[in-house]
Structure 1
Amino acid sequence: WTWKYFRGILSWGNLRPNPAFTKWWGVKGPRKLLNPVKSSRSHQELHRELMTSCKRGGGVRVESNKPELERVLECRRRDQLIKERKKQEEARRKISPLEAELRKRHQLEQQKDERDKLAAPEFVKVKENLRRTSYAGKEEKQV
């Protein structure tokens, strides 16, 4: 008695083996037939070509097709939603007087920084950008 013999018995058409036989030997029955279309060489090549030509994100968003303006607007919308959620969570929690005072000061400081940025002349902003790029260039040269 060999496995080839038992496989031969199980592969006879639609005949099912005795359930006691399958329990004892652990044989599940005849194998499922392969789909001749899927197993054909031309189908496999076509599938491979489609998989390589198709962009698959794999959990990463592919935003290269979108124009820059659209991406910026989406980013702003996302930031606004995040801020609204934070405000709602803060409203739900009980805030101590000390924490409220600290938040007020922090908000005032942020508003002052924003006003300073808007009030600064354009050449100052450009100069800051140039400083940032020149520092990055020096670090790259040293490395």
Structure 2
Amino acid sequence: MTLPTPEQQEACKRLVLEAAFRADQQDYAGLAALFAEDAQLYRPSAPRTPLKGRNAILNSYLDRPTTRITRHLCSNFRFSLESADCVRVRCYVQLYASSGPTEPGDPFGAPLDGKVLIGELDDLCRNGSDGWRLAERRACFVLYGE
């Protein structure tokens, strides 16, 4: 396995973390902009049917309830150089979610939904004329807890 340069690794790690942040902040236009125009996104709920293209990815996120709250914690990053301008990044993800607050202004935030999910991201990052973008993302869940 050939490792990317430290600069490539850092750029790709920042890209993956920025995508998690944008999803958690419900900045779905900003999230979609991190994907290449021709990107494919394989979601855990439909692992054989990818969303194809930036617009399809954006529209799927816009369909989420506005009260949904998520927090993605990413760790255990692994990198491999696929080609001169493509880096594969794999990491673990803990996903916490809530349907929203039950009491406005509760200092403890919103109650968690029933499951805490542990999953994996397998991202292909491509460096093009608009910088590093997610060309393909395969997301899956591996474990959950109540």
| Range into which the TM-score falls when normalised by the shorter chain | under 0.3
Task: Return the TM-score normalized by structure 1.
Answer: 0.22
Please tell me whether Structure 1 or Structure 2 has the larger radius of gyration of its CA atoms: 1
Greater fraction of residues in helix: 1
- Larger strand proportion of the pair: 2
